[in-house]
Amino acid sequence: MDNLCKLGFLTTEILLEGRNIHEAYGRTKTGIVLSNANASLDADIAYFETVKNIPSPAQFVYTLPNIVIGEISIRHGFKGENAFFVSEEFDAGLLEFYVSDLFKRKSIDCCIAGWVDFLGESYRAVLYLVENRSAARSLPWTTEHINKIYELANGKING
């Protein structure tokens, strides 16, 4: 796995700790909607280094940002709706719209959504577990809450 996939994979492990999402909601009803700023540039640079010698298929496959969705899907057996967006900055409005819309259509009952970015020495992951049933300490999926949690996770505001 490349750095971006490791980051998304491990963050999802923490997010889903103690949960059995695919049994609770069904494999096809769990979606993944992710975004970042640098797409797969970290892996692109690593792959292009190999091109100068012998191009590596094992590295080339990671030169697409949605591969992290594939890795999380394989690990947890999620087969539902998925999408990868690139934006300069974290876009809570986009996530709110896209994920809420999937719930409204009843395409999914549960979703892993958020930001997974990796380039060189810097990385950041903020993931949300969105469900159609409320749980203890859960908040409504609104742009305001999404932003607040993102800022908390990044130390921009004090918790």
Binding-site ranges for another protein (CB under 8 A): 27-28, 32, 37-41, 44-45, 47-48, 51, 54-57, 60-61, 63-67, 69-71, 73-74, 76-88, 91, 94, 97-98, 101, 105, 107, 119
C-beta of 148: minimal distance to another protein in Å?
Answer: 21
C-beta of 28: minimal distance to another protein in Å?
Answer: 6
Q: Indicate the residue among 101 and 144 with the shorter CB distance to another protein.
A: 101
Which pair of tokens denotes residue 108? 């999914």
Q: Indicate the residue among 32 and 126 with the shorter CB distance to another protein.
A: 32
C-beta of 84: minimal distance to another protein in Å?
Answer: 5
Q: Give the CA dihedral 148, 149, 151, 156, nearest 10 degrees.
A: 100
Task: Annotate 58-68 with b (16+ C-beta within 10 A) or e (fewer).
Answer: ebbebbbbebb
Q: Which among 40, 155, 139, 159 is positioned nearest to 96, based on CA atoms?
A: 139
CA–CA distance, 73 with 71 (Å, rounded to integer): 5
Q: Indicate the residue among 55 and 142 with the shorter CB distance to another protein.
A: 55
Q: Indicate the residue among 4 and 125 with the shorter CB distance to another protein.
A: 4
Q: Which among 118, 82, 104, 112 is positioned nearest to 19, based on CA atoms?
A: 112
